[in-house]
Chain A
Amino acid sequence: MPGYNTNVMEIEVKSLKKVDVIAVSGRVDSSNAANFEDALKTSLARGRHNLVLDFSRLDYMSSAGLRSMLAALKTARQGGGNVVIAQPTERIVDTLKLVGFQSLFSQYGDVLEAVDSF
Chain B
Amino acid sequence: MSSKPLTHSDKSLTIPARFDQLRRAGAFVSDMAAAAGFEGLQLNRIELAVDEACSNIIQHAYAHRPDGKIHIRVQAERGRRIVITLIDTGEPFDPEAVPVHNPEASLDDLKVGGLGLFLIRQTMDDVQFEFNVPGLGWGQPKRFNRLTMIKYL
Contacts and interface: CB of A to CB of B under 8 A. Distances in A.
- Chain B binding surface, main DSSP class: helix
A98 B55 contact: no
B77 interface: no
Given A4-B24, A7-B22, A29 B45 contact: no
B58 A30 contact: yes
Contacts of A18: none
A114 B120 CA distance: 31
A107 to B, nearest CB: 16
For the side of the interface on A, what is the size category? 20 to 34
Given A4-B27, A74-B107, A30 B119 contact: no
Nearest to A61: B48
B55 A29 contact: yes
Nearest to B107: A104
Contacts of B105: 100
Contacts, number: 81
Contacts of A100: 102-105
B52 A62 contact: yes
Interface string B107-142: 100101001101100110000000000000000000
Given A63-B115, A66-B115, A100-B104, A95 B110 contact: no
B9 interface: no
Interface residues of B, number: 32
A66 B116 CA distance: 10
Interface in B42-79: 44-45, 47-48, 51-52, 55, 58-59
A63 B22 contact: no
Given A60-B44, A63-B119, A29 B107 contact: no
Given A6-B20, A71-B112, A99-B119, A29 B51 contact: yes
27 contacts: A4-B21, A5-B20, A5-B21, A5-B24, A6-B20, A7-B20, A7-B22, A7-B23, A30-B51, A30-B58, A31-B20, A31-B23, A60-B47, A62-B51, A63-B52, A64-B55, A74-B107, A90-B40, A90-B41, A95-B48, A99-B101, A99-B115, A99-B118, A99-B119, A100-B103, A104-B107, A104-B110
**Minimum-distance CB pairs A-B, first 9:** A100-B103, A4-B24, A31-B19, A63-B115, A63-B116, A30-B55, A91-B44, A30-B19, A94-B41
